Structure 1
């Protein structure tokens, strides 16, 4: 039952098309990350679904998505005549990760150091004062699990038991077998004195609002997708023009549109119809 009193009763969602009290839906809107494939359930449903179950984390890879996103960033930057690093999120795949093997951690530490040096050089070329850092993330999965911020390869070699445990398993207890090393992007947005990051919803190619993820116990370089996060409504009208004359609707809008295009390219490579 919704806040305005509208009520829908689910009568059946298994073994047949889902039936509601007053109508049969033409479309199922999924709000499930599908860490598990749920193949049996999917075979019992004939109603179209969006987003497709096949884009779930049981087979999706972050490295594939960011490959296409960054490719589009460079195409967009060339047309718009801007520096692609303003939109790019440098991402490298580390395909053979084993938290229990010292050799694996040593190779990961070396890869982290190499990326940080590369980022440092690019920042200095642009007179950016931000100290580079990266996140090591499970290449599959969501929910903020198996994600750790590091500023050097040595931190990986010195991981505590708590850190090793965090990188050992993802959602539903799945093992972490490959990771990405990803450039850390500081969150410059604040609301009510705490750091925040915007998440934008889209309908087709149009912005449809979103939310701010905030966390009072985190800094601008931490992952905010962690216990204690608070979510606040974000309307497109809230994306005001910054003092330097930059309309934030364009900044978030173009980033979102590039992201949506990247998902379509990702889906095509996976053979998923969207």
Structure 2
């Protein structure tokens, strides 16, 4: 289940939301049966878009940062979920080594500190270890809050990772491995590594994830008696594109045309008077880098040099090759006058909270992640009550965030399908 949180929308609930709320018992049973057969990712966050007529995920992160952006009220939920996750994987766990990204962004470091607090409260001794070759000695970092974060260099002893004075039984990665897994993390057979290396962006592809999501949404739609499209963003795999040289741009334009034709057909079917758009993004990586909105394939012909450069470079300056074209889902949520989208956080199979990503200078059809974005934590509804079965018509009665939690868990389930399919140990066993 998900917490009863205050959300930005306060108008009447629409038909799709009502169908989800009315089907809560069936949905929860469906998820329970799925988790009997599949293992959820250790933790995840999902960007959700609510267009009113459609509610869908647009990105799934398996190494989520931003834990510091959740309301302090959410921490007990995260601690409980951490306890359940660790108990399931390694009941005798005592020491946990948290390995972050190799950069010192102040907001990101606050996230690392918050993760440390969560797992400390879950009953573990926690240290933060760096695999950055530049970190050779214990380094004390001062956070914006004034708190000190101790960063220790990680060393390899045979099949184990440790720091000089700390031998962990569990390794928690908060590093998305965009540049590949460093050798020091490979072939660890004596410790639990969470998440696994093949969850990193050097292996993951958004096209594979959304292919799994399409399968999940079809089964979910059949169970709920709805068109899967209402919870599923269509996509096309555009393949390799070099924005700098122009190689692959013709195939990309064709993918955009094909996708927009499919979306317009759906808009016509449902009488939706909106202008369809597509989002062109890198097939791997995160952080809002390498993302642009197009309303017509001809938009690609007039890209500025700056736009081409931005699309050519991913996280950490990596060259972008593979491109996915995704159905654009507009957001009709606002915080103040700024466009917003909910980001749902999960640990194990549990929703533990979320926040609104807010951007006052970008439109409802644009990517809200990037410079100028801010985060508004979601707080508990002051009623702190369970939703009454069959409650209709009131914005206060239903738990609107429940719908976002359902979409988040569908994406999380899709990620479990994805990780099973890309598990190198399973392939070796087969």
Determine if the alignment matches structure 1 residue 251 to structure 2 residue 403.
yes
SS of 1:15's equivalent in the other structure is strand
Q: CA deviation at 1:14?
A: 2.6
Match status 1:160 vs 2:304: yes
The structural deviation recorded for 1:157 is 1.1
Secondary structure of the corresponding residue to residue 211 of structure 1: strand
The number of aligned residues is 273
Aligned residue number for residue 232 of structure 1: 376
Q: SS of the residue aligned with 2:249?
A: helix
What is the CA distance between 1:190 and its match in structure 2? 1.4
Range moving further from structure 2, 257-266 or 94-103: 94-103
Q: Give the structure 1 partner of residue 4 of structure 2.
A: none
Distance 1:119 1:134 in 2: 9
Instruction: Tell me the alpha carbon deviations over residues 225-274 of structure 1, each in whole angstroms, 9 at most, x when there is no partner.
Output: 11111122224659998846753233112111111111111111111579
Match of 1:42 in 2: 185
**Shift in Å, 1:8:** 6.6
After TM superposition, give the deviation of residue 92 of structure 1 in Å. 0.8
Which runs of 5 or more residues in structure 2 are unaligned? 1-112, 115-142, 388-392
| 1:20–1:131 Cα change, 3 Å | farther
**Structure 1 residue 100 displacement after superposition:** 4.1
2: CA distance, partners of 1:179 / 1:219: 23
**Cα pair 1:205 1:257 within 8 Å, conserved:** yes
Aligned match of 2:318: 174
Q: Distance in 1 between matches of 2:247 and 2:176?
A: 32
User: Structure 1 residues 44, 83: CA separation in 2 closer, same or farther (over 3 Å shift)?
Assistant: closer
CA distance in 2, matches of 1:243, 1:18: 54
Q: CA deviation at 1:220?
A: 1.3
Gap runs ≥5 in structure 1: none
SS at 1:95's partner residue? strand
Q: Tell me the equivalent position of 2:417.
A: 265
Between 1 and 2, higher relative CO (CA 8 Å, sep ≥ 6) is seen in: 2
Q: After the TM superposition, which residues 122-133 of structure 1 pair with which residues of structure 2 at under 5 Å, given as runs?
A: 122-133=266-277
Q: Which residue of the other structure, out of 135, 155, 171, is the alignment partner of 1:14?
A: 155
Is the 8 Å Cα contact of residues 236 and 249 (structure 1) preserved in structure 2? no
Q: Structure 2 length normalisation: TM-score?
A: 0.58
Task: Work out the CA distance in 1 between the residues paired with 2:242 and 2:264.
Answer: 28
Cα shift readout 1:46-76 (whole Å, capped 9, x = no counterpart): 5322222321111110000000011111110
Tell me what 2:72 maps to.
none
* CA distance in 2: counterparts of 1:6 and 1:28, whole angstroms: 23
CA-atom RMSD in angstroms: 2.9
Deviation string for 1:9-41 (max 9, x for gaps)? 4444233433487x6443332221110123322
Counterpart Cα distance in 1 of 2:146 and 2:164: 17
* Preserved contact between residue 97 and residue 178 of structure 1 (Cα < 8 Å): yes
**Contact 1:188-1:195 within 8 A present in 2 as well:** yes
CA positional deviation for 1:103: 6.0
CA 1:197–1:5: 2 relative to 1, 3 Å: same
Q: Does the Cα contact within 8 Å between 1:196 and 1:213 map onto a contact in 2?
A: yes
The residue that corresponds to 1:92 in the other structure is 236
Q: Work out which of the residue numbers 264, 277, 283 in structure 2 matches 1:120.
A: 264
Q: 1:58 aligns with which of 183, 188, 202?
A: 202
Q: Distance in 2 between matches of 1:99 and 1:11?
A: 40
Specify whether residues 109 and 6 from structure 1 end up closer, same or farther in structure 2 by C-alpha distance, changes over 3 A only: closer
1:210 aligns with 2:346: no
- Paired with 2:339 and 2:298, the residues of 1 have a C-alpha distance of 28
Worse-superposed segment, 198-207 or 87-96: 198-207
Q: 1:120 to 1:40 in 2, by over 3 A?
A: same
- 1:32 and 1:93 map into 2 onto residues whose CA distance is 26
Change in 2 beyond 3 A, CA 1:172/1:7: closer
